[in-house]
Structure 1
C-alpha cells in the first residue's frame, strides 16, 4: 500500500509570490469511512458480533468524551493517545489572566510508535498535474520517512520511538505554530 499524494499547479493568490504558479501537494482522500463500516470490518477480523462491537464502540466513545473533558490523556489501543488542550495568548500579569486569552481549543493526538513506524515505512506516490489538469509526472518516494512529532521538544522531525504516555505534568512546551504570543496551555 502507499499514500497517494497529488501535486497540482496553482496560481498563488497571496504573499510575495502572488501571481506565480507553484505545485501544491496534498494527500488524496478517498472517502471517510463510517463507524458502521469500521465495526463491520472489525467484526469480520475478530469474530465478535457486530451488535456487541457497536455497543462497545458507543460506550468507549462516551467514556473517551467524559474522561477527556476531565483532563485525562486517553489511550486509544493500537493507535496512540488523545487529550484536549488549548492555545492562549500570554500575559505578563496574573490579574490579566482570563478565559478571553484562549484562542483555540484543541484535540491533541499523539500516535503510538507502531503507527509512526507504519507511516514511516509506507511509500508515497505523487501524481503531478499541470494547471490544465493533465498528468505531467509521477514520483514514488525514496525519502527516509521522517515523521512530524508534535510532542518532540525540537523542530526536528521524529522517526518514531517516542510513545509519550502523557503521564507528566504541564512542563510548558514550545509554540508549534500560529502567532508567537500564543502558546499551548494544558498540554
Structure 2
C-alpha cells in the first residue's frame, strides 16, 4: 500500500478578482492511530507483554518531553530526532525583549536517513479532483529512487517509474 495523495483543483491567484486554477497536492490522512493500537501492535511484533510496552511507551514519552523542553534535540528510536522551536517578533531595542514577543512555539522533527529512504521508496497513489469535487484522474507511481528526473505521470493508473525529486539524505543523525 502506498501513500495516498489528493490533488485538488484550487484557485491559486493572489490578486482579488483574478482566477488561476491549479492542482494542489496534499497527503490524504487516513486517521490518527491511538496509543493503545500502537502498543498492541508493538507487543505483537516484539513478543513482549502489553504492560511492558505500555510502561516503556509512557517512560519514553515523559523523557522526550522533559529533555526537549530543556532545549535538547532528542532521538526518537528508529525515526529521527525532535526539538522545540519558536517564532517571534524582532525588536531593535534590547529593553523591549520579552516572552510576549514569541508568536508561535512548535516541534521540529528531523527524520533519520533510513526513514527518509523508506519514504522515498514508498509508492504514491494520487487522486485528482476538479474544482467541483469530481475525480478526474488517478496516478500511481512506484517511486524507485530516480537516476534521471521523471514526472511520475501515468494516466492509465498503472505503475510508472518516477521519484520524489527529493535529495534530502545525509542529515548526520545516523
In the alignment, structure 1 residue 163 sits paired with structure 2 residue 158:
no
TM-score by length of 2: 0.78
Name stretches of at least 5 consecutive residues in structure 2 with no aligned partner.
142-151, 153-161
Give me the whole-angstrom Cα distance separating, in 2, the residues matched to 1:30 and 1:163. 31
Alignment correspondent of 2:115: 115
Matches within 5 A, 1:46-57: 46-57=46-57
Question: C-alpha displacement at 1:164, in angstroms?
Answer: 4.4
Question: C-alpha displacement at 1:134, in angstroms?
Answer: 2.5
The structure, 1 or 2, with the larger RCO (C-alpha pairs under 8 Å, 6+ apart) is 1
In the alignment, structure 1 residue 144 sits paired with structure 2 residue 163:
yes
Give me the whole-angstrom Cα distance separating, in 2, the residues matched to 1:24 and 1:145. 16
Question: C-alpha displacement at 1:113, in angstroms?
Answer: 0.7
Give me the whole-angstrom Cα distance separating, in 2, the residues matched to 1:120 and 1:146. 9
Question: C-alpha displacement at 1:9, in angstroms?
Answer: 2.1
1:135-165 Cα distance to aligned partner (Å, 9 max, x none): 2112234343244xxxxxxxxxx43111348
Please say if residues 6 and 127 of structure 1, whose CA atoms lie closer than 8 Å, have aligned partners that are also in contact.
yes
Give me the whole-angstrom Cα distance separating, in 2, the residues matched to 1:91 and 1:48. 54
Matches within 5 A, 1:19-168: 19-141=19-141, 142=152, 143-147=162-166, 158-164=167-173
1:57-113 Cα distance to aligned partner (Å, 9 max, x none): 111111111111111111000000011121122233322322122111111111111
TM-score by length of 1: 0.73
Corresponding pairs, count = 154
Please say if residues 43 and 49 of structure 2, whose CA atoms lie closer than 8 Å, have aligned partners that are also in contact.
yes
* SS of residue in 2 equivalent to 1:75: strand
In the alignment, structure 1 residue 3 sits paired with structure 2 residue 3:
yes
Alignment correspondent of 2:146: none
